[in-house]
Amino acid sequence: MDRIYRRQRHVYDLSRKYYLLGRDRLIEGLDPPAGGRVLEIGCGTARNLIAVAHRHPAAPLFGIDLSREMLDTARRRVEREGLAGRIRLAHADATRFDPALLFGVPAFSRIFFSYTLSMIPEWERALAQSVLWLKPGGELHIVDFGGQERLPRWFRGGLRRWLATFHVRPRDGLETALARLPGGIEVHTFERPHRGYAQYAVCSRLPV
């Protein structure tokens, strides 16, 4: 990951804002309870966490990423924004992290993936790991590339070939994988907006 992002991190947000559709909708919809902790898995440059901090000013925020290069950029951005006291970052693998060891906290009210599942080889394991740390009544939010099923075939094929050059693979089985998640997880929103270009999901952990 560091090899991929060593140079890309400097232009990542500028180059992605036009085709990572739905990120701002996800941020708006998080709506964490007062004091509810929010975790982003694959936080990258901290673009999303900074936006969450401004939109939901009472929420303590956390982010993990596998790339130390991206985390270096993220920490600098968080400091420039004056948010170092609210946003905590850590180097961790999405498939085997433990927030008690990383941050000294037991669980989160909101966890989200924003265009990261398509880059995680063991993406289903990352989903299962994330729900381990979701509080009862908490929510898992996801936005990522979809199957582009209602877009022209030539566009779909070209987009997938281009994404593959960045090691990005849309997770066509996401809806099925969410339905199989353990731990009392209920899927109450699953959409494929923009003619299937993206997929957007919200799941909740049932109260005990």
How do residues 121-159 score in pLDDT, each as one tens digit? 999 999 999 999 999 999 999 999 998 888 888 888 888
Low-confidence winner among 17-31, 112-126, 137-151 (lowest mean pLDDT) = 17-31
Low-confidence winner among 14-23, 46-55, 181-190 (lowest mean pLDDT) = 14-23
β-partners of residue 204 are 139, 186
Query: Can you give the residue ranges of every domain in the chain?
Result: 2-205
pLDDT higher than threshold 60 for residue 114: yes
Q: Does domain 2-205 have CATH number 1.10.10.10?
A: no
Q: In the prediction, which pLDDT does 18 show? A: 42
Q: In the prediction, which pLDDT does 177 show? A: 97
pTM (two decimals): 0.90
Which residue in 26, 21, 22, 106 sits closest to 62, CA to CA?
106
Which residue in 26, 17, 3, 8 sits closest to 199, CA to CA?
26
CA 110 to chain centre: 11
Percent of the chain predicted with pLDDT > 90: 75
What does the alpha-carbon distance between residue 164 and residue 162 come to, in Å, rounded to a whole number? Answer: 5
Encoded amino acid at 188, one letter = H
pLDDT higher than threshold 70 for residue 19: no
